[in-house]
Chain A
């Protein structure tokens, strides 16, 4: 992240902020979509997060932490969008056509479907930690810093989300799984 851009944006330079937005918006949207599992809600969360970030940018004390800071804003925007609960009824799940041809063949369509259903039952704060860990690849300590929560809380949220998803897959797959399919 360009520290100079962050500094300029902090001082009110809208062009600098727009440049930052174009650098981070794809990642932010991808994270929001994965937490919320709804494209429309993710779009709203992204927009609200960007506007909030602009407004609150003067309060950012460490420009080098811009990405973590804006991800934190995004996660809170996701919480807010979820509470508003719009468009859940019209949300359509689309399974990727690439599903069956994943490189190691381990992620079967059935697993994904179960993951999708199970993930929607996981509380949002657990989903956020799960996505930041498995999608962005952030270590738990960094997730805790990003979300402003204790490391132990981040660990327990990841644990509960993982347990829920594993249970869902195992419960569904156990009777029919072919030996060695997941190895």
Chain B
């Protein structure tokens, strides 16, 4: 081969051979699939459990603040024998010595949920649809939104939620009939020994969402802190985070 231009010419000529027209059947199949496929909602709107009213936000913020203060106290307290004995306690006379950290201290919180991907149970899409349809607090329009927008399970068979914890970021995904949709993501941290705090990303007004974590074998269950602001929020919490236990994927 003599030069780059020669190679480019050969490469282009070679690439130009071959089919250039999409098979009608493939296009028609795709369009047929699209007929029954809902579009995703904007993640920044639909996946941030966004419908908290001001009172709920205040309660959640207070709960998180209280937890943060409590965790701070736990993390900053001295580990010696004088902890909790009050300011009038006599100065320690023995020399400082290494102290065994209690298992319930902040050190345990670091590994509250080890990095990895955790999958919830497989749920029949029809069960979620039935649950939503039976909810008397939702309007027909809201039901459609929840089924087609939030969960994208119209005419689907199975639904599975998964949570990935990696490098300080939590990513929530939903698997509908084997196809994964990225739901939402956020920076996460742990407070104390049982609280997960997630700061939602990619949203217009990011805020913290707190969860109580209960370890279960190699996985965990999550309970959102704070009452849902409305019924669709409650359903989102029930399935997106509360569908556990979430089990670690090998």
Residues of A within 8 A of B (CB): 12, 14, 17-18, 21-22, 25-26, 28-30, 33-34, 39, 43, 46-47, 50-51, 54-59, 95-96, 98-99, 102, 104, 106-107, 111-112, 115-116, 130-131, 134-135, 162, 165-166, 169-170, 173, 182-183
Contact = CB atoms under 8 A, between A and B. Distances in A.
Interface of B: 1-2, 6-23, 26-27, 29-31, 33-35, 37-43, 152, 181
A87 B29 CA distance: 19
A181 to B, nearest CB: 10
Contacts of B33: 47, 51
Contacts of A12: 39
B10 A47 contact: no
A116 to B, nearest CB: 8
28 contacts: A17-B34, A18-B31, A18-B34, A21-B31, A26-B22, A29-B20, A29-B21, A29-B26, A33-B18, A43-B26, A46-B30, A50-B30, A50-B31, A51-B37, A54-B39, A55-B38, A58-B42, A59-B42, A102-B13, A106-B6, A107-B10, A107-B13, A107-B14, A115-B11, A134-B8, A166-B7, A169-B7, A182-B10
Contact of A111 (B10, B12, B29, B40): B10
Given A21-B30, A112-B17, A183-B6, 9 more contacts: A29-B21, A34-B18, A43-B23, A46-B22, A54-B34, A55-B40, A59-B43, A99-B17, A182-B1
A131 B20 CA distance: 13
A170 B211 CA distance: 62
B37 A54 contact: yes
Contacts of B42: 58-59
Nearest to A18: B31
Contact of A55 (B2, B10, B29, B37): B37
* Interface pairs A-B: 10 shortest CB-CB: A29-B22, A96-B17, A50-B30, A107-B13, A25-B22, A43-B26, A135-B15, A47-B30, A54-B34, A134-B11
Nearest to B8: A134
Dominant SS among interface residues on chain A: helix
A56 B55 CA distance: 33
B19 A112 contact: no
Name the residue in A28, A34, A116 with the highest tally of chain B Cβ atoms < 10 Å from its Cβ: A34
A26 B21 CA distance: 5
Contacts of B18: 30, 33-34, 96
Given A26-B22, A47-B26, A56 B40 contact: yes
B37 A21 contact: no
Contacts of A134: 8, 11-12, 15
A182 B2 contact: yes
A39 B43 contact: no
A96 B16 CA distance: 10
Contacts of A135: 12, 15-16
A111 B14 contact: yes
B1 A58 contact: no
A57 to B, nearest CB: 6
B14 A58 contact: no
Contacts of B40: 55-56, 58-59
Given A162-B7, A166-B7, A51 B30 contact: yes
Nearest to B20: A30
Contact of B11 (A165, A173, A182): A165
A40 to B, nearest CB: 10
